[in-house]
């Protein structure tokens, strides 16, 4: 994998690599069963990934404890996005057929995204645009500043 800063890492499952401490960029918060971090591939400020700390594919596999922890952690993370970053609207998406284990993406809608429309199909073009365009030191600093704000809020 190559992250948004151009770092190259060889890993099998990204979320397991995080859990084992092989990767720790973009750390935001952790609950007993879940981990919230900035998406390391896409330089959109406040694009948060919530992954399970256990190698599972689907939330159909959550234990009762994970179910309870998940909804609390998800709501807290969303609240942090709202209060620390002023994010009014997010798109939430999740695919079970990725090469990595269970993770959910919380995509904040920023003003520049309007030109891509507001439907689900706007997500891929937005991500491609961000990957292609947001490469300057300033862009990276914006992402890191948002990550830090969320981290402080969720301390």
Footprint of Zn ion (CB under 5 A): 13, 15-16, 55, 101
Q: Give the nearest distance from C-beta 149 to Zn ion in angstroms.
A: 28
Q: How far is the CB of 65 from Zn ion (least distance, A)?
A: 19
Angle at CA of residue 132, ends 88 and 112, nearest 5°: 30
Closest CB 15 distance from Zn ion, rounded Å: 5
Give the residue with the Cβ less far from Zn ion, 99 or 121: 99
Residue among 38 and 51 whose Cβ is closer to Zn ion:
51
For residue 128, the minimal CB distance to Zn ion (Å) is: 25
In the bound state with Zn ion, the residue whose beta carbon lies nearer, of 16 and 40, is 16
Among residues 101 and 149, whose Cβ is nearest to Zn ion?
A: 101
């Amino acid at each position: 994998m190559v992250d948004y800063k151009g770092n190259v890492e060889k890993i099998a499952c990204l979320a397991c690599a995080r859990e084992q401490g092989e990767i720790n960029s973009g750390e935001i918060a952790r609950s007993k069963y879940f981990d919230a971090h900035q998406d390391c591939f896409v330089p959109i400020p406040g694009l948060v990934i919530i992954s399970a700390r256990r190698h599972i594919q689907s939330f159909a596999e959550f234990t009762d404890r994970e179910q309870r922890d998940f909804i609390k952690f998800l709501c807290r993370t969303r609240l942090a996005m709202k209060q620390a970053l002023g994010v009014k609207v997010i798109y939430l998406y999740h695919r079970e057929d990725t090469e990595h284990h269970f993770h959910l993406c919380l995509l904040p809608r920023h003003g520049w995204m309007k030109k891509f429309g507001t439907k689900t199909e706007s997500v891929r073009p937005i991500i491609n645009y961000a990957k292609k365009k947001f490469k300057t030191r300033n862009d990276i600093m914006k992402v890191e500043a948002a990550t830090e704000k969320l981290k402080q809020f969720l301390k």
